[in-house]
Amino acid sequence: MTIGRWMWVCVAGMVIATVPVVGPTVAGSTLVSPGADLVGGAQRVHPDSTLDLGGDKFNVFTGATLPGDTWSFVVSHTGTPIEGTMVVAMYSQVWRHTDGHLLFTYQLENKAACTALARKGNIKGYPSVCGIIDAGILDYGGDEAYDTGDILMLYRPNSGGDQLAFQFEALDSQYQTKVERLLAPGQTSTWFYVETEATDYTCGPTTIMDSGESAHGMQVLVPIPEPATMMLIGLGLGALLIRRRRG
């Protein structure tokens, strides 16, 4: 099926969009605090100074909406758990910049039927080869202050696979005590976003956790690394195989 100039392909439950490959541009002047590339192991935390969280701060987008002359909506998806004991839903969206690179937004709903507080989650599909330009919260209300449902931490772990991790908890920078703003049953988080260098997207699984309870396998929208990057990876693996055969 073709919609305008963009082609959509569904294969085995995966949705792929084909878009032109053009260099990235950061989101815009309405972002508060410096940009935050989530390199392996690096953690970014909420910028509200009253929380006194350690680490570099992620951005808060404070506009009324994403600017229409820069970003256009592409597609949305609702993921529900395949297995687990928590009753949640994970919403995801893809937005396209005018130069072709993609912004991914996420929102978690902890259903009223659930008895567990949502503590943290992992989204599969953010490998180290996938460049992240910026990350943070979409606060359409307009300030840096903590709002109910804000995540407190974003990071891409050094180990554990191609994940983007988000948490409703973090450590106090002075006393190293845990600051918790867990998502209660009946609450829906604010949207958080990851601006990537990717120009294509697909689906990847998400896990939501609390102590003793979890929800697994729900599908959300995630980036596909640049074709040029994937080609370099393929060439590198090919070279390793040749060296092993010669050895």
Phi-psi region of 18 (alpha: psi -120 to 50; beta: other; left: phi over 0): beta
Can you read off the two tokens belonging to residue 94? 């893809």
**Helix (H/G/I), strand (E/B), else coil: 20:** coil
Q: Which of 120, 57, 125 is nearest to 86 (CA)?
A: 120
Instruction: For 65-83, write each residue's pLDDT tens digit.
Output: 888 888 999 999 999 999 9
Q: How confident is residue 242, by pLDDT bands cut at 50, 70 and 90?
A: very low
- pLDDT at position 227 over 90: no
Q: Which of 164, 158, 140 is nearest to 150 (CA)?
A: 140
Tell me the CA distances in angstroms from 198 to 13, 20, 85, 131, 194, one per residue in order.
20, 10, 33, 7, 11
Over residues 125-146, mean pLDDT: 86
What lies within 8 Å, CB to CB, of 220 at 6+ separation is 77, 79, 90, 92, 106, 123, 125, 203, 204, 205, 206
**pLDDT score recorded for residue 226:** 72
- pLDDT at position 152 over 90: yes
Q: Phi then psi for 228, rounded to 5 degrees? A: -65, -40
In the DSSP assignment, the letter for residue 190 is: P
**pLDDT score recorded for residue 192:** 96
pTM of the model: 0.81
Higher pLDDT, 132 or 95: 95
- pLDDT at position 233 over 50: no
